[in-house]
Structure 1
Amino acid sequence: MLRTRSATLPSPSSWVLARVSCPRSSPNLSLPPRTRTFTTTTLVAGKSGSSARWLQRQQHDPYVRSRASGPLDAPAAFVSRSAFKLLDLHKARRGSLPLLRPDMVVVDLGAAPGGWIQAADSVLQGSGTIVGVDLLKLQHGVGAAEGVQFVQGDFLDPKVQARLKEALLDMSGDTKVDLVLSDMMANTSGNNTRDGALSLELCEAALAFAVQHLSPIRRATKVVTPSGRPTAAEGSKSLPIQFIVKHFASESTEAFRKELARYFRQVKWVKPPSSRKDSREGFFVCAGFKGKQSAETEPAEQAPAQDDLESSVFF
C-alpha cells in the first residue's frame, strides 16, 4: 500500500534556532520553509532499500547489539552506542596516566542521553565527580548515579554556563576541572560546508570553556634512573589528557588543530574503533594544558606527521 502526503515544514536549521533560549551572535543560517513530499510504504515481505540497509547495519553492528547486553568489556548496559567511543579512548591511552582516574572532576558537554556519563562512571566507580550539560534530557536514571549532576540547557547560552559553574562549585567546591569532554553535535543538514561550520562553532565553544576551567600542567622533565634508563615521567607519557572534543573532518580541521596546539602540548586526531568507518567523525585528544598566558607566549607544538593524525591509539 502506498500513500503520499505533502506538508510544509520549517527547515532543520530553523528547528535548531528555535530551540535556543537566548539570542545568538552567530550568523542567521536558517532557510525559508519548503514543501516536502513524504512517502509511506507498507510492504508485506520486506522493507524499502534504505530501511533494509539501515536495519542490516544495525543488526551487524557489534556495538549496537552489545549496548544493552554487556559484551565488548562493557561493565553495564549503556543508553547509547557512543559510550563505547569513550571507553575506546580510555583503553587507547598508552601513557602512565590513564584518561579516567579516581577523584577526577569531569565535565561532559553534550551529555544526552547519557552514554558518556555512564562510560566514565563505569571506570570511576563513583570515585569522581561528573557534571553533564545538554539541551536535551538524560535518559531516565542516568543522572541519579552518585557523584553525577546534570544541567539541562543550551551550552552556548551564558546563563546555562553560569549554572554549570554553580553545579561544579556545589559538587567539588571549585570551578576548576580535570577533564573536559565534548560530544556535542549540531543537527546535520546534508550540506557539508554548513554542517562543518556548525561543528566548528561547537568545538570552539568547548575549547573556550576548557581554557577557562582547566588547570595548567608544567612540561614533564626527563628523569634518568641510575641504570641510565628514562622513567615513565619522560615526555608526553606523564601529561594528563585534559580535553577531548568531537570534530567532523572538513577544510577547517587543520586550522582548528593548530588552534588547539596553542593551548596543549600534545594534540592528536583519533578515530576510535567504535566510530563508524564511513563517518567524518573523529576526536581531538589534547594533553598537557599550557594555560592561557603561556599559550600566548610559547610556540605551538609541532604538528604530527599526516599519517599519524588518524589512529586508534595515542601518546
Structure 2
Amino acid sequence: MSGKDKYYNRAKQEGYRARSAYKLKQLDETAGLFGPGNTVIDLGAAPGGWLQVAAERVGSEGTVVGVDRQRIDDLEDPEATVEYVRGDMTEDSTKAEIRELVGTGEETGGPADVVISDMAPNVTGEYELDHARSVHLARQAFEVALDLLDSGGDFAAKVFDGQDLDGFEADVEQEFEYVRRVRPDATRDESSEVYLVAKGRLTAPVREGDTREVEIVDVGRDGDGIAKIEGFTIFVSGVEEGDVVEIRVDDVKPRYAFGQPVE
C-alpha cells in the first residue's frame, strides 16, 4: 500500500477531514507544539483536519481558532473550544476578530500560544514559481504569528523547499529562540514540502550581540546582577547592585536574557 493510500485510508477510518491531520500529529510529536489549555490559531484551516488534531491536543481547557477565506464546517464534538473566522488572515479586521474571540494577550505579546499554517499555493507545475509563492504564503503566516503570538509561543508553517527557504528561515530565526525544519513521515515521497517549526517567540527589547548601558538594580540568588530594559530582565555576571555598566547580550530567552560587562 502506498504512503498516500495509507494515510488517506486512516483519515477516513479515524474520522479526520484530511490526511494532513497526520502531518500535524507528527509535527507535534517531533517538536512539542501543543500543551493542555493552549490557544491555537490555525491559518488556512479549511477543511479542518488540523483543527481536529489541535482540538484533541489542547483539550477541554484549550481554544482553537480556524481562519480561512472559505467556510469551515463546524467540528462535531471537539474536545476544545473551537471558533471560526472567515476572512483574509492578513487583514487587520480579521486579526481584530481573532483577538475579540480569544483576548488581547499580554502587553509584551499576543493572545496565542501557537500559530500554525498548512497553506500552499495552487500548483502551476513551474517549480520555481510554486516555490516562491509558497514562501510568500509562509511569510504572510509568519507576519500574522508575530502579531498574535505571546512571548514564548510557537509557530509552524509549510513551505516548498528551494532557493528562498534559507533566507526565510533566517528571518524566522531572528524572532524565535530556535528554528528547525521537519519533514513528517506522512508527507508524500514525491513532495518537496517541508515545515519550519519555530519555538519560543522572542518579544524582548534586545537581541543577541546587542550592547547596552544598564544599571544593576538587584542581585539574584545565583549571584548574577539583575538589570531591566523596558521591564525585561537581563542577568549580568560579575557585577554588584548599584553598578552602571555597558553590557553585551549573549543569550536571549522568551522572558529573560543573559549578558556580561564589556571589557
Q: Which TM-score applies when normalising by structure 2?
A: 0.71
Q: Which has the higher contact order (CA 8 A, sep 6+)?
A: 1
CA–CA distance in 2 between the matches of 1:263 and 1:170?
20
How many Å apart are 1:297 and its aligned residue? 6.3
Query: What are the within-5 Å matches in structure 2 for residues 287-306 of structure 1?
Result: 287-291=199-203, 293-295=205-207
Contact 1:168 1:175 in 2 (8 A): no
Q: 1: distance between equivalents of 2:195 and 2:71?
A: 24
Q: Which residue of 2 aligns with 1:81?
A: 19
> Equivalents in 1 of 2:98, 2:39: separation in Å?
13
Out of 142, 149, 157, the position equivalent to 1:245 is 157
Residue 99 of structure 2 contacts residue 111 of structure 2 at CA under 8 Å; is this kept in 1? no
SS at match of 2:46: coil
Q: Please name the residue that 1:156 is paired with.
A: 90
| Structural mapping, 1:264-283, within 5 Å | 264-283=176-195
Equivalent AA in structure 2 for residue 66 of structure 1: R
Secondary structure, counterpart of 1:293 in structure 2: coil
Look up the equivalent residue of 2:135 and give its one-letter code: L
* CA 1:295–1:80: 2 relative to 1, 3 Å: farther
| Structure (1 or 2) with the greater strand fraction | 2
Deviation at 1:69, TM superposition (A): 1.1
Distance 1:183 1:295, change over 3 A: farther
TM-superposed CA distance for 1:285, in Å, is: 0.8
| 170 and 150 in structure 1: CA distance in 2 versus 1, 3 angstrom threshold | farther
Contact kept? 1:258, 1:300, Cα under 8 Å: no
Q: CA deviation at 1:259?
A: 0.7
Letter in 2 for 1:271: R
Maintained 8 Å contact 2:40/2:116: yes
The within-5 A match list for 1:247-262 is 247-262=159-174
Partner residue, 2:113: 178
Does the Cα contact within 8 Å between 1:78 and 1:118 map onto a contact in 2? yes
Matches within 5 A, 1:44-63: 61-63=5-7
**AA paired with 1:186?**
P
CA distance in 2, matches of 1:206, 1:197: 14
Secondary structure of 1:196's counterpart equals helix
Residues 62-103 of structure 1, C-alpha deviation per residue, up to 9 Å, x if partnerless?
A: 111111213xxxxxx10111111110111223xxxx421111
What residue is the counterpart of 1:11 in the other structure?
A: none
Residue by residue, what CA displacement relative to the aligned partner does 1:238-284 show, whole Å, maximum 9, x if unpaired?
xxx61111111111011111111111121111000001121111100
Q: Is the Cα contact below 8 Å between 1:143 and 1:149 reproduced in 2?
A: no
Q: Which residue of 175, 178, 198 maps to 1:286?
A: 198
Rate the CA distance shift 1:295–1:147 in 2: closer, same or farther, 3 A.
Answer: farther
Tell whether 2:8 aligns with 1:64. yes
CA contact (8 A) 1:105 1:128 kept: yes
1:91 aligns with 2:29: yes
Q: Which amino acid aligns with 2:16?
A: F
Q: Closer, same or farther in 2 for the Cα pair 1:88/1:127, shift >3 Å?
A: same
Q: Which has the higher helix share?
A: 1
Deviation, 1:141, is 3.2
Q: For residue 210 of structure 1, report the CA deviation from its aligned partner.
A: 1.5
Identity of aligned residues (%): 30
**Separation of aligned partners in 2, 1:187 and 1:294:** 39
TM-score relative to the length of structure 1: 0.60
Structure 1: 5+ residue runs without aligned partners?
A: 1-55, 71-76, 218-240, 302-315
Give the letter for the 2:195 counterpart. F
Q: Distance in 1 between matches of 2:99 and 2:60?
A: 21
Task: Provide the C-alpha distance between the structure 2 equivalents of 1:300 and 1:170, rounded to a whole number of angstroms.
Answer: 31
Q: What residue in structure 2 maps to residue 187 of structure 1?
A: 122
Equivalent of residue 122 in structure 1, options 56, 64, 76: 56
Sort the Cα spacing of 1:292 and 1:255 in 2 relative to 1 into closer, same or farther, 3 A. farther
Letter in 2 for 1:244: A
Residue aligning to 1:229: none
The residue that corresponds to 2:75 in the other structure is 142
Q: What SS does structure 2 have at the residue aligned with 1:107? A: strand
Q: In 2, Cα distance between the equivalents of 1:250 and 1:144?
A: 40
The reply on whether 1:215 has 2:150 as its aligned counterpart is yes
CA distance in 1 between partners of 2:131 and 2:158 (Å): 12
User: Which amino acid letter does the alignment assign opposite residue 213 of structure 1?
Assistant: L
Give SS of 1:130's match: strand
1:184 Cα deviation from its structure 2 partner: 1.5
